[in-house]
Every structure is written in C-alpha cells, then in structure tokens.
A and B are shown apart, each in its own frame.
Chain A
C-alpha cells in the first residue's frame, strides 16, 4: 500500500474540506491531490532517483511528500540548520537526486554531481500548472517512501529507510479514516526532517484534519498561530512546551479551542508537564514515544492516564506521569537483558519492538532481526500494568565501577530542586571508576552551591549516583528539535574538568 492512497481516499470522500493552511487561505484535499499530481508530473521530467527537500515547513512540503510517492521515489528532507559544510556533505549522499530547495537557501549549496537543484517557487508553480496537473502519470509500485537522516547527535547521520508499507501500516492502525470533525486543525511546528513532521502529514490527511504549518518555531508565533487558526490539536517537543507556557502565562492566553496537546521526541521534565496541566486544564495531554526507525509513535500515555497519575495517592500510579504509557495495540514491546533474554516487569533492560510499522533499516545496513524484532538502543522497563518507562539512550548510560547509572533518574531528582532551571547528567572519564557522574546545571536566581545539590541528590538516591563533578552554565546545548547534545557537552566538560564538589 502506498502513502498516496491515503490522500486519494481523503480527496474522494471529502474533496472540499480544508487540508492545509489557514481558515482564510487554506487549500482543500482535492487541491492538495491536484498539486501533488502536478508536482509529480513536473518532477518526473527532472531526473534523479530521490526527491530531496530542503526548506521550511509549509504546504509545499506535503505536496512534495505525495508527489515523490506518486513517482515511486524516496522523499529525503534535509536539516537546514546544519552547517553549510555538513549540509553539502549530506546532499552529496543523496545523488542521483532532484532537490527542492527554498529560494533563500539555494546560495548555501555547492554544485554536486548527480544532484539537480530546483527552487521551491519553481516546484510550487509546477504544482499549479494545469498542464502538469492534467498529465498522465505512469503507474509505479513504490517501495521506499522516506529517507530520513537521523539527527546525528552521536556521530555521522545515518539514513533511515521508511517504506510505504511501514508508514501506511502506522497510519491505518492508529488513525480512524476521516474521523476528525470539520472544525479540527493541527498545528505542526516540528520541521520537515523530523519523523513527526512526516507522520503528521500522513495522519493529518487520513483523519481529515486541517494541518497548519508553523514555518519555524518560536513560542510567540506558536501561540499566535494556535489562537488565530483555532487550532485544536498540536504536537510539541519538550523544550517547546516550557517556552509556550511562559508566553501563555505572560499574555493570559488559554487557547480555549485547543483540545489535545501531544508531546514527544525527548524526555519531558515532570515539573513542565505538571505546570502545563495546571495552566491548560481543558486540554487532553498525550505523551507519545517513538523513533524515526519505527515510523513515529510506538507507545502512548493518554489523557486519562495523565489525570489519574496526577490525582492518585498510589505511588505506582503517580509515577506513570513519567512513563510513555502503553505500547500501541498493533505492535509488541519487550524489555531484554544483555544476553537477549526477555526480562520481567520492573527490571531495566533494552527496549525491543516488533510490528509492521517498524523498519529498523538504514541505507547499507539492516539492523532489524530476521524475526522482526528491532533493538531501539533505548534503556527502559515496564511496570506490572504494562506502562513503559524510558531511561534514555543506552549509549548515555554511565558505567561507574561496574554499576549502570541512568542519567535520567538523577536529572529528574535535580529538576525537583527549586533553584534548578535545567540540568544534564553524564559520565566523564575517571581513572579509578572508569566513569564518574557529572552534572551540568542551569541555575535559577540565587544559585545553589554544588555541595547543596550533592546533598539533595544523596538524600534521594544512593551516594554512587551523586554527581562528583558540577558545572554551572548559562544554558545547555540542544539541537533544534530539542535533543540535548550530550556528546558536545561531554567533550566540553572533559576538556575543562571544573572544580569537584
């Protein structure tokens, strides 16, 4: 099954419903379908085996996703926030390709053999050209839908392969066709090169929900778009949510039309989600856990789970606010130990997942097992009721004197300290212990001392989990989709070796 079929269904069943853009100037599902066809006919004449997209999010992006699908060519969105050198290196890896590039970004690219660059405005014009729209397209049976370069926070970006069958399986097993009300609109603020930016196109179309793209995220622009476009649904990454809440509080804005806010793409600090639930009492919160390699979401903590956890006096229920909820019914999740053995509830190990939406493949490298199980490289555990707790990337686990220490656990404790604004915990090389626990802290006014914070952690956790190295910083390094750049931080802190507590 191919992704274009999802659009064809929406365009047939609800041709005049708004698909993309504003209430005043949005385009319908029939129009999106016509643009995708026009764009596909034009791209077919440009050569290239992959359709690269380098640009801000907006209506041209879904048109390009479906146009690439119609041609049977992978859609490969690139990260425009990379340095010019990294961007050009990545672009060269897509050859032979046709690259749709925002007009004001074209100047950053060097000529690369096998890559044809066309401007976004030329692609947009081609989508509207009646000759292109009327052109007959050859039937293709496409296979690879998307090539997504992973964020590369731990090295050279890998190109994850998502096949049409992975993505369509995800969509039809999680979304009910045309189940959205005509008044529903989703605000998409993650960029085109994030898996959630891709899956939002497909689930939005299949559910019949209007999608409003924010070209680039700022909390002010997000709040303004949510208010003026009467947005009912939105997905944010954790770093966005705190900043959005600041703007809402400062303006006294409560977004009465907003019904559901989902978050994912990183660990959500507990104080932030609790604050969000206090400020936006009318909103349903959803925590979604997923990876690029799994076509987006694999586990969901739903609105009722959130409310129960906050209201409960039972510690086992309360702590679920820090979980990612339960796996989707359409797939299987297991926690496995170092020998691959399946671990019982309550024990930490590596999270494995199996299901039709799971690709587990990179260009030149298949990492999924023959029996379909994919090792996520995330550590985690499940409680007795099947709620999944994610501890973070296994690469980030600190090994101190043979003991595995999860940075997330220590970070969670430190975030409860009233004078800690942000914190990252990581391992630094140590001659005696292999690694020692280090903390980088962004303090609020009236900065706490390292001794005070160390005592705070020690009172709640074991002394082996108490950071030995403390560094106070103005800010922590994040990439633009909210992922902490641990490797960069680690390199900076290893070089400096600041004062020990």
Chain B
C-alpha cells in the first residue's frame, strides 16, 4: 500500500474516503471498518463486512494521525467505519484554534 501524499483511498466496507496528508515513515497498512483501504481508482473487494470493533465512524474534514508511523490523513467523505493500522485505532487530531486571517 503506497500511501503517497495526496493519494486518495476508500473504505472496502463503507463510504469513508481519505486523502493522505503526510506519508508514513515506514510502510503501513491503513484500514477502515477493520479492512484494508482500497486505492480510489480500484474496485472494492466483495463479501467484506464492517467490523463492529471499528464502526465508530469517520467524520468529514477530520484529520487522523498515527504517531508511530507519522501517517496523517484527511477524511474527505464520511462513513460508518473508523480508521486503524494493524487493528489499532488511530485518533482524530484536535481542532485547530487559529483565528481567520484571509
């Protein structure tokens, strides 16, 4: 799984889509809803179901970062599945507190 900056990935089991903001320092397998995510241009594998353990949902516009690998993604389409790496959930980053400047 080549998580290049700017590449887009979709969940195999729900509507979630993410864009890679920062690539991982070492290769990792990004999952959503308990299953590896699929490159946006490819077909989703059939017969998979959302894992109850990874069904907290992914909110649009939320940024998720994995401290261990350095991977950071932005959720660009909301879905029922939540993100994980090797079964370990990765958390949403805190909201930014910057004043509007444009």
Contacts and interface: CB of A to CB of B under 8 A. Distances in A.
B98 A300 contact: yes
Nearest to A290: B101
Nearest to B78: A13
Nearest to B20: A1
A204 B74 CA distance: 18
A199 interface: yes
Interface residues of B, number: 19
Contacts of B19: 1, 5
Nearest to B94: A176
Contacts of A203: 100, 102
Interface in A2-56: 5, 8-9, 12-13
B60 A13 contact: yes
Interface in B48-68: 60-63
A179 interface: yes
B61 A288 contact: no
A174 B96 contact: yes
Interface in A229-257: 233, 235
B76 interface: yes
A165 B99 contact: no
Interface in B74-89: 74, 76-78
A196 B76 contact: no
Contacts of B77: 9, 12
A378 to B, nearest CB: 17
Nearest to B7: A1
B101 A5 contact: no
Contacts of A284: 99
A174 B98 contact: yes
A296 B98 CA distance: 14
B76 A8 contact: yes
Given A165-B5, A235-B102, A262-B102, A12 B60 contact: yes
Interface string A186-211: 10000000001001100110110100
A260 interface: yes
Given A1-B19, A176-B95, A9 B100 contact: no
Interface of A: 1, 5, 8-9, 12-13, 165, 169, 172-179, 186, 196, 199-200, 203-204, 206-207, 209, 233, 235, 260, 262, 264, 284, 286, 288, 290, 296-297, 300, 302-303, 328
